[in-house]
Amino acid sequence: QLIESGGGLVQAGGSLRLSCAASGRYFANYAVGWFRQAPGKEREFVVSVSRTGGHTYYGDSVKGRFTISRNNAEKTVYLQMNSLEPVDTAVYYCAAGGSVSRFPRDYTFWGLGTQVTVSS
């Protein structure tokens, strides 16, 4: 089970940190990705991190602004989001899968999402 938290309302230029907390014993065996979906749009890849945290893969729209990290002892993945823009408004989902990937189909487990709203 994956549970996202940390979403909310922030002004443009602000920051938020999302968390993805996992239950179960094998969290460290999974790569974790963040995706987002705005109303009326398809789910968009944000970033993915490998099992050890040594490899990351960012979507073009968030490079240089968002940073992913993970703490396997805490079974948590973090998404630090800086310089937020109104276009970042979406429901953010974390997902766990076998390897770093930008494709939702490569992830087996999904959280229910957390809303991020960026006002102009």
pLDDT in tens, the chain (120 residues): 999 999 999 999 999 999 999 997 888 999 999 999 999 999 999 999 999 999 999 999 999 999 999 999 999 999 999 999 999 999 999 999 999 999 999 999 999 999 999 999
- pLDDT value, residue 24: 79
- pLDDT value, residue 26: 85
Check residue 86 and report its DSSP letter: G
The Cα 37–Cα 25 span in angstroms is 29
- pLDDT value, residue 7: 97
- pLDDT value, residue 90: 98
Residue 112 CA neighbour count, 13 Å, CB half: 3
